[in-house]
Amino acid sequence: MLAKVLLSRVGPNSQPLSADTLFVPPGYNGVAIEATPEGAGANASLTVVDSISDGSGFTAVVDANGVANGMVGQVKRNVGGVRPYVKVQLVVTSGIWTVTAALIAQPSVSTTNVPGNINLSQYGGTAVGPANPVAVAQQGVVGENLSQVGGVGITLGQKVSASALPVVVASDQSVITNQPVHPVATTGTFTTGSTPGTSVVGPVSMQNLGSAIISVHGVYGAGLNLAFEADDGSGTWYAVQAVRSDAFVAETTSGALLANQARAWELDLGGFTNLRVRDLANPASGTATITIIPTAESADPAIVTGGSFTAQITGNSPAAASTAAIGAALLNLAQYRSLHIEATIQGGGGGTLDLYLQVTYDNGTTWWDYAHFAQLAAAAAQITRLITVSRQGNSGAAPVVVGTGLTPALAANTVVGGDFGQGLRLVAVAGAGTNAGAAQTINIFGDS
């Protein structure tokens, strides 16, 4: 740096300073300006101008440091990228100011647009390299747009490793926690207009997921029966056990639910592909909302202890000569070893009435005769009959004739006995002349 040169000492109401022109010799391309007030209350503005000739063409320098407005204290500025002839202009509003300047050498502040590619082999007359790097300074905001890696365009979305952009995790990176993914719940409804046996909620994908929660709630009438089923990817649906949240009971179907019953089940589904809930029997009225919530965590194995249950089948027998199932079937009997059945029955008006209990071994697809109460005469008074059966019991020495579905054939006052399958329902056959139905109630008590 050259020694400082006193340009001027300027006071208020003086003419603007336009000192003698400073010549910037080779090897220097900047000016260090220092403006110092004498005492408090001083105020001034400073502008540095330059030109390629001594006589004319002076304009403000490119470097923004060449302008200082509203100075109230000492100001020091290094102004780079100046042309060979430099002047300092000072306008004093108040106070006494002393201005000095010195020539300096610093990187040039200039902008050059270079089209295409360049090959810079020398800088300052010396080969470019580690000992003589090219100084590059960013001017303003530089936008970055990474569109290719290795000549291949980058696109959004998940990629296999061969097409992914490599990322290096810093050695001091804090722990990255992998939070389990909880997919969005799937919700559906069953109403009196649903189609039993075919209406479903789902299927819900269980890919890479271990368990699920199924719940039912709403304002609906009694009789809704749900089946829990999973698919292994083959398109075949299998009954799966669901453990009730309010009891240690594992069941593949909900059985006939009470009106407005709110209940939830947890299912362990490791390895299955899809999950669905199928409607086996509609609610008597209203709308039942079914929610399926898949979760990434595997459910704990269900430990189901022995217990008992109570259920009921109720409804009126046909009001005209016909055959019909009464009430809602029970389809949650698989875990029970024995049943105590209490039937409170009575005759209808105008014709005979035959009442059958039927069981299913294929989750409600087919129903077989299991018990046939003694035939009731028209308007027969209410009576109560008891039946106790066990899975370990036998049906008897000789085969018995049974019917299926709405074509029952078991002889009157007969109980087949033995294994009672997964479910139970009541079927009524109203004889000729029937003109009024009658209320029938079957109470079932199960013991596991």
Q: How far apart are CA 245 and CA 256, in angstroms?
A: 17
Per the structure block, which two tokens stand in for 188?
């559906």
Per the structure block, which two tokens stand in for 116?
């295409």
Give DSSP secondary structure letters for 89-104. EEEEEEEEEEEEEEEE
Q: Tens-digit pLDDT profile for the chain (448 aa)?
A: 343 445 555 555 444 455 567 777 777 888 888 888 888 888 888 888 888 887 778 888 888 888 888 888 888 888 888 888 888 888 888 888 888 888 887 654 444 454 555 566 665 567 777 776 766 655 555 556 666 766 667 777 777 777 777 777 777 877 776 665 567 899 999 999 999 989 999 999 988 888 899 999 999 998 899 999 999 989 899 999 888 887 767 788 888 888 899 999 999 888 899 999 999 999 999 999 999 999 876 655 455 555 677 788 999 999 999 999 998 888 778 878 899 999 999 999 999 999 999 999 988 889 999 999 999 999 999 999 999 999 887 766 688 999 999 999 999 999 999 999 988 999 999 999 999 999 999 999 888 7
Per the structure block, which two tokens stand in for 347?
């005759």
pTM (2 d.p.): 0.41
Q: How far apart are CA 265 and CA 255, in angstroms?
A: 13
List the domains of the chain with CATH numbers: 5-104 (2.60.120.1110), 186-295 (2.60.120), 308-447 (2.60.120.380)
In 122-236, DSSP assigns E strands to 122-123, 126-127, 148-149, 152-153, 186-191, 200-205, 211-220, 225-231
The 8-class DSSP code of residue 76 comes to E
Give which of 242, 235, 230, 238 is closest to 202, Cα–Cα. 230
Within 8 A by CB and 6+ apart from 208, the residues are 296
- What pLDDT score was predicted for residue 397? 67
Query: What is the distance of C-alpha 408 from the center of its chain?
Result: 51
- What pLDDT score was predicted for residue 111? 47
Q: How far apart are CA 63 and CA 28, in angstroms?
A: 15
Within 13 Å, how many C-alpha atoms sit on residue 263's CB side?
Answer: 21
- What pLDDT score was predicted for residue 99? 85
Query: What is the distance of C-alpha 392 from the center of its chain?
Result: 49
Query: End-to-end CA distance of the chain, in Å?
Result: 102
Q: What is the largest CA-CA distance in the chain?
A: 134
- What pLDDT score was predicted for residue 175? 76
- What pLDDT score was predicted for residue 4? 45
3-class state of residue 311 by DSSP: strand
Per the structure block, which two tokens stand in for 314?
């109720």
Q: How far apart are CA 71 and CA 43, in angstroms?
A: 5
3-class state of residue 66 by DSSP: helix
Within 8 A by CB and 6+ apart from 139, the residues are 111
Give which of 85, 89, 65, 84 is closest to 75, Cα–Cα. 65
Taking the CA atoms of the chain, what radius of gyration do you get in angstroms?
47
Q: How far apart are CA 211 and CA 296, in angstroms?
A: 7
Type of residue at 330: L
Which stretch of DSSP H or E encloses residue 355? strand 353-360
Q: Are 128 and 62 in contact (CB under 8 A)?
A: no
- What pLDDT score was predicted for residue 14? 45
Count of helices and strands (H, E) across the chain: 0, 31
Among positive and negative, which fits the CA dihedral 420, 422, 425, 429? negative
